Amino acid sequence: MVKTTQDRVFNGVVVLILGVVGAICLFPLLFVASASLTPFADILKNGGYVLIPSSITFSAYQELLKYAGVVRAFGVTVTITVLGTLINMVLTTLMSYALSRKELPGRSLFLFMVVFTLLFSGGLIPLYLVVRATGLTNTIWAMIIPNAIWSFNVLVMKSFFENLPGELFEAARMDGSGEFRMLWQIVIPLSVPVMLTIGLFYGVGHWNEYFQGIMYITNTNLYPLQVVIDNILTQSQQSIENVDATVPTMTIQMAAVVIASLPIIVVYPFLQKHFTKGMLIGSIKG
């Protein structure tokens, strides 16, 4: 197809707009990364803003890793993310598959219960009392079990399963396959986009875990990374005052932000195409 002048102008405007939006989105990330690698003297010379460092130093990262609890908190967050996402995916897949089967007895009631939790919550205090009564406080499970299933993710995955060809299930039943075998051999292999999309949702949620860390955890050895970084950011003047002579507080704060964000930034580009496809297909039907 030959493009007209009008098409070329339109495409050029779209590319220009996307380029400007992309630059605006990348500016904060580039500034934070540059500030964490630039000597503080160079930052002051440039009025506090450096996008491309003239010289690089890793002293902020070295000092940050010496800070009590950072490495341990990183390990806690990785554990929460891996275990939590695995549990989330297993439970969400099982529940979504069951709700996608129209022959499920009481399906409408179960769907109502799922949607109801999107609109109403039992409240913060009852949730805390339940977690405490079950003995989950001061354990990593307190940051995993309360969010084992997200209703929104269940509905997205259910919609995806409903769009799979029904002929596949009929043929599988004629061959004597049960529900679990159809789920494992048919549904899951065909649902890679939505599985990766939901897995990304869960993974990012666990990686950014903060509220439950301060809500249910008092043992500092079990603090997730976000809680420890928050302590660094809010108590920097008191807790890092002794290192300001060599490594300023600002660069340590920027290094902390980079460490907290880098894993997600690295993983996301590899899942982007599946993320877009999974959201589009999973939202076709309600």
Q: What is the CATH number of the domain that holds 271?
A: 1.10.3720.10
- Flag whether pLDDT at 246 surpasses 60: no
CB proximity list for 39: less than 8 A, separation 6 or greater? 55, 57
Q: Are residues 76 and 175 in the same domain?
A: yes
Q: Are 47 and 69 in the same domain? A: no
Question: 113 and 42 share a domain?
Answer: no
Same domain, 165 and 84: yes
The token pair at 179 is 């529900």
Total number of domains in the chain: 2
Please check whether residues 130 and 217 belong to one and the same domain. yes
Instruction: Map tokens 């039992």 to a residue.
Output: 122
The percentage of residues in the chain with a pLDDT greater than 90, rounded to a whole number, is: 26
Higher pLDDT, 7 or 3: 7
CA distance 61 to 50: 18
Examine the pLDDT at 83 and tell me if it is beyond 90: yes
Q: Is the same domain home to 126 and 195? A: yes
pLDDT, position 243: 43
Residues near 15 by beta carbon (within 8 Å), at least 6 away in sequence? none
280 or 212, greater pLDDT: 212
Q: Where are the alpha helices (DSSP H) in the chain?
A: 5-37, 40-45, 59-66, 70-100, 107-119, 124-133, 151-162, 166-174, 179-182, 188-190, 192-207, 211-216, 225-234, 236-239, 249-282
Task: Kindly state the average pLDDT of the residues 237-257.
Answer: 63
Q: Check whether residue 186 and residue 51 sit in a common domain.
A: no
**208 is written with which tokens?**
């950014």
Evaluate if pTM is beyond 0.95: no
Q: Read off the pLDDT of each residue in 44-70 and give the average, rounded to a whole number.
A: 76
Q: What is the mean pLDDT of residues 115-128?
A: 86
Q: Which of these, 202, 196, 205, 194, lies nearest to 279 by C-alpha position?
A: 194
Residues 72 and 46 in one domain: no
Shared domain for 166 and 203, answered yes or no, is yes
Do 142 and 217 reside in the same domain of the chain? yes
Name the token pair of 262: 């880098």
Mean pLDDT (whole number) for 195-204: 89
pLDDT at 247: 59
Give the structural domain span for 27: 1-57
